[in-house]
Amino acid sequence: SYQARDQIKKKKRMIFINIETVYSSKREMITKAVARRLRAKQMTSPPKFMGDIRVILGPGIARKLFYSLTKYSTSHHVQQVLPTQAVVLERYWLHHAAFTISKFYNETDLPPRD
Identify whether the C-beta of residue 45 lies closer than 8 Å to the C-beta of residue 70.
Answer: yes
Check whether 64 has a pLDDT greater than 60: yes
What are the structural domain ranges in the chain? 2-92
Of 39 and 48, the one with more pLDDT = 39
* CATH class of the structural domain 2-92: alpha beta
Contacts of 81 (CB under 8 A, 6+ apart): 41, 43, 87
State pTM to two decimals: 0.70
Per-residue pLDDT tens over the stretch 3-35:
555 555 566 789 999 998 877 788 889 999 999
Between strands 16-19 and 41-44, the pairing is unpaired
Give me the pLDDT at residue 60, please.
74
Q: Which residue has the higher pLDDT, 14 or 51?
A: 14
Helix axes 61-81, 94-104, angle to 10 degrees: 160
Residue 88: predicted pLDDT: 96
- Asked if the model's pLDDT at residue 85 lies above 60, the reply is yes
SS3 4: helix
One-letter identity of residue 48: K
Specify the pLDDT at position 7.
56
Residues 28 and 31: their CA atoms lie apart, in Å, by 5
DSSP state of 82: T
Give the residue among 56, 64, 91, 99 at the shortest CA–CA distance from 75: 91
So what's the pLDDT on residue 33? 96
Q: Which pLDDT does position 50 carry in this prediction?
A: 78
H or E segment to which residue 19 belongs: strand 16-19
Is pLDDT of 69 > 90? no
SS3 11: coil
